[in-house]
A and B are shown apart, each in its own frame.
Chain A
């Protein structure tokens, strides 16, 4: 039932790298461990550091099917787990001839055919290798956490009319969260935990170079250092990796090869998305 995908930490790092995701030691070890122990992995961190991207890359690297459950306020069992297709059930009952016994119909309408499988159930029943991504878990209501507890600890689902369905092959589960609310201790305890933060300077530079190959190394270097200086200011929203990459693309598109005051001033809108952050950066970096 537990069929690990990765052979070692190095193997994890190499294969994720080949899938376009540059890991560091912590990320590779944690992903490897989640795979090896068969435990769900909870990834927390600020927006835009590549949480969702990590799950997608793991799916790509292991050649698994990616099943995604996007969480939002008001998400319920019927959207996350399964639902009976009641319209079809009604049709079946109406179509039955009068002399059919009720017992027969009853057994019939609660058959596989009338079951609508939602992401969680789909992931559990999938016989092929699967990566289940539960995105923005913190957006969902507290009740959904209770639902996840059952699914994630035993990898089985109980449907009263059909019985218990256990996973034939344990999916690799990733949960992401922006920490807008504290997830319950019980859920955290069932997961391995990875805090993704803004990367170290070297890694960020490598990411920029791999994503925007047109950019010169010199420029990538000063770009990363400038972004780090911006992060050190007390801003409302610090620039994330996604923004660094956008910035690099912008500079390439504009044909700039050095990052001087004027260039920063003109393109600051790409990295900072709040007017007050803008003024603050201009003042602190002495751009005017």
Chain B
């Protein structure tokens, strides 16, 4: 085994650690043993072998792949083409490359879906279109230059035409074709980005690029900064997350102290030992299930956070005796009925946004009015068994806070928490009314899914 390879391996595993994965010494040893077992010339074997040794969570896979491609690039430098290579036609003629020729070829490739060819094409495209001089004598590589010039999305219409071949438009066939096309376009974009990273790493070293190439994991993405893709990814995680939380909570309850003496079972069991109760039996503890009332701000700025938390609350329904949800922007309305059991949550959110009466005056957040309205219209919502959960960033547009009403609500409830998706450092700045609320109610910073999970574990008693 060459020493250079092991050095490279250690450096790579170290980069993984820096990206947030835990790689233990035992796993390093496994990876090194794996080197001796597999065919080293086959790069994909190496990738899968190390993935098996080091990766222990599917969410880390993208990070692993990105870094692996950086540290063990598939190829070096420019692509050399043989005489009869179909990509050859792109290289003809001197001077700047012609984007139209590339676009034609891309269209054909998206239609065929040949992955191997697509890889080589991506390489050629980056070579032809992705280079730019940043300073005299210095060059760099950009994926947006490639994607802007080719703009693969604009090919969708003509691809649809070709794929459907005169089938009826607007039906299922179109939907399925669209799905296929967008999958392939996404694949192409990933290939271009990977190729650009490879080129950059070649110029500046893998270590340098590793730092910026890796995207944060979905569960650690800030709710307030989440892109549409991140939100979709988070929504997909709601049910697994809820299931995980629920099993953990049931396990904790089972492990908790047992309840009162079960007289009947104890006496029955004592017969086996001649009437002497050697073993006592106990009744299982009755789990305490709180009622949950969620009052959430669904105005644009925090909508993503509110939706995610509402979905999670509903997915955890069995853990509570009752869940009621209220949404507000500048006035408040009950939205419990939109979430029917077994119903579709994404649908429910859409209906909630279009049908519930959430706007009273100008559609800017008004916590004061919303809290007053909530206390006035639903006086029975908050009682001594209720856990009250308020979700929002408390950005009140400098309006009245309704603090006195909130104080009464908090006193009436069993527990009350305020979940704020803003970083704690920003609380109280600008129009944030956290100062007024913080002394009345426990305010918790919940910026990402990980923090939310921690909070819910605390909320539900053992």
Q: Which residues from chain A sit less than 8 Å from chain B, CB to CB?
A: 8-9, 25-26, 29-30, 32-34, 36-37, 39, 41, 44-45, 141-142, 179-182, 185, 188-190, 192-195, 197, 201, 222, 225-226, 228-229, 232, 234, 236, 260-261, 264, 274-277, 279-280, 284-287
Contact = CB atoms under 8 A, between A and B. Distances in A.
Given A189-B26, A190-B26, 6 more contacts: A9-B39, A33-B38, A39-B30, A185-B56, A192-B52, A229-B176
B30 A229 contact: no
B172 A285 contact: yes
B111 interface: no
A26 B51 CA distance: 9
A91 to B, nearest CB: 19
A9 B248 CA distance: 39
B52 A30 contact: yes
A287 B172 CA distance: 6
Given A142-B251, A222-B176, A33 B37 contact: yes
Contact of B30 (A37, A45, A185): A37
B175 A25 contact: no
Contacts of B52: 29-30, 33-34, 41, 192-194
Contact of B27 (A9, A34, A189, A225): A189
Nearest to B179: A229
B341 to A, nearest CB: 10
A1 to B, nearest CB: 16
A34 B55 CA distance: 14
A53 to B, nearest CB: 19
Nearest to A192: B52
B58 A236 contact: no
A181 B24 contact: no
Interface in B168-204: 170-173, 175-176, 179-180, 183
Interface in B29-59: 30, 33-34, 37-39, 42, 44-45, 48-49, 51-53, 55-56, 58
Contact of A286 (B22, B44, B175, B247): B175
Contacts of A280: 344, 346-347
B459 interface: no
Contacts of A197: 58
B235 interface: yes
B268 interface: no
Interface stretch (B101-109, B237-245, B443-451): B237-245
A25 B58 contact: no
A105 to B, nearest CB: 23
A287 B327 CA distance: 33
B37 A226 contact: no
Contacts of B166: none
A189 B24 contact: yes
20 contacts: A8-B39, A9-B42, A29-B44, A29-B48, A29-B49, A32-B37, A33-B37, A37-B37, A41-B52, A44-B58, A188-B56, A193-B52, A195-B55, A197-B58, A201-B113, A228-B183, A234-B235, A276-B347, A280-B346, A280-B347
Interface of B: 22, 24, 26-27, 30, 33-34, 37-39, 42, 44-45, 48-49, 51-53, 55-56, 58, 61, 113, 170-173, 175-176, 179-180, 183, 232, 235-236, 239-240, 243-244, 247-248, 251, 342-344, 346-347
Given A195-B58, A222-B176, A286-B171, A29 B38 contact: yes
Contacts of A179: 240, 244
Nearest to A195: B58
A29 B45 contact: yes
Contact of B180 (A41, A141, A228): A228
Given A179-B240, A195-B61, A279-B344, A33 B49 contact: yes
Contacts of B39: 8-9
Contacts of B236: 234
Contacts of B171: 261, 286
A182 to B, nearest CB: 7
Given A44-B58, A193-B56, A225-B180, A284 B342 contact: no
A44 B244 CA distance: 15
B68 to A, nearest CB: 13
Contacts of A236: 239, 344
Nearest to A45: B58
Contacts of A9: 38-39, 42, 45
Contacts of B113: 201
A261 B167 CA distance: 12
A225 B179 contact: yes
A34 B146 CA distance: 42
Contacts of A195: 55, 58, 61
Given A222-B176, A276-B342, A276-B343, A180 B247 contact: yes
Nearest to A236: B239
B312 to A, nearest CB: 15
Nearest to B246: A180
B244 to A, nearest CB: 6
A25 B240 CA distance: 28
Contacts of B343: 276
Nearest to B45: A29
B56 to A, nearest CB: 4
A32 B239 CA distance: 34
A181 B171 CA distance: 40
A116 B42 CA distance: 47
B48 A182 contact: no
A265 to B, nearest CB: 9
A170 B29 CA distance: 20
A228 B180 CA distance: 8
A37 B172 contact: no
A180 B170 contact: no
A25 B44 contact: yes
Given A29-B52, A226-B176, A276-B342, A181 B244 contact: yes
